[in-house]
Amino acid sequence: MSAKYEDVILTSVFIKSKFPKNFKPDVCLIVDDKYKLPGNFKFNNSIDLSDIPHIFSINIPPGKSSLTLAKIGSVNLLIYRNRLNFYDGYSMDDIGHIIYALKFSGIKKILSIESCGYLNPRFSGGEISVVYDHINLMGDNPLIGKNDSKLGVRFPDMSDCYSKKQFDIISSILLKNNIKANESVYVGLTGPSSETDAEARFYREIGGDVAGYSLIPENITAVHCGLKFSAIALLDKNLVADVMMEDKRSEKEILSASKKDYQKANKLLNSVLETILYTI
């Protein structure tokens, strides 16, 4: 038994100790701190990640990231708010550790929502895209190092890394609600600096539709430990090569446009979560 596995079990035990009686979440929703959750969520207590003992490579400030116990309709879920990011100095192990701990806390499926820049000229700010594949340009991988078979196999199959069944369900829900369902290949980057015009052109030429900083380590770890993973990209920043420099909006204006994305996603979240809970 590796030290890594032992730490994961300790964390999962700590998390489960905060569950009220009969609370057995199957789904985890991962969102950034600015994401406003729908009003029909019922919240229980929250677990501050800074309270989890001795496992992260750097300290997590109190109140930065949390796991909130919640219910929407008949679905018990955990909400992982303000995820740990590589660009903030957290290691791939730190990011992966939370995903493993979710697995051993009973989670079976993850829906991750991230604000992303769009590379595809057919996309527009304020739209939603459902991720079906990715390209890892982060220069790192959460599985590097000695593998513990209790966490997952040495060489996990990434051919269905974004669950095709859940992808089809989410796309269908968007369509039924008359919301344009873009499909995207996600390019994973380290950040936090913005992309140059040449970089944006390159990412598009190699097949990228959207670009972001968060999904890759979450997804790889989830696949490694057998979790079903799906992702929605909220399109807010124009990264279309030769056009992006013409977008003179301020950060405040971009954030304002992002709120429209969140409102759209909020409308659909109840239906999405209720549905994917019962997918295999």
Confidence of residue 34 (pLDDT cuts 50, 70, 90): confident
Residue 71: how many other CB atoms lie within 10 Å: 15
Quote the pLDDT of residue 121: 94
**pLDDT of 25 higher than 80:** yes
CATH code of residue 231: 3.40.50.1580
Do residues 68 and 46 touch, judged by C-beta distance below 8 A? yes
Say how many domains are in the chain. 1
**pLDDT of 249 higher than 70:** no
> Among all chains, which residue has been given the structure tokens 């369902």?
181
**pLDDT of 246 higher than 80:** no
**pLDDT of 257 higher than 70:** no
Domain of residue 14: give its range.
3-276
Confidence of residue 37 (pLDDT cuts 50, 70, 90): confident
For 78, counting Cβ atoms within 10 Å of its Cβ (0-12 exposed, 13-18 middle, 19+ buried), the class is buried
Do residues 230 and 111 touch, judged by C-beta distance below 8 A? yes
pLDDT tens digit string along 212-234?
A: 999 999 999 999 999 999 999 98
From residue 194, alpha-carbon distances to 18, 70, 139, 157, 215 in Å are 39, 34, 17, 31, 17
Do residues 206 and 102 touch, judged by C-beta distance below 8 A? no
Min mean pLDDT across 178-187, 194-203, 239-248 is at 239-248
Better-scored residue on pLDDT, 234 or 274:
234
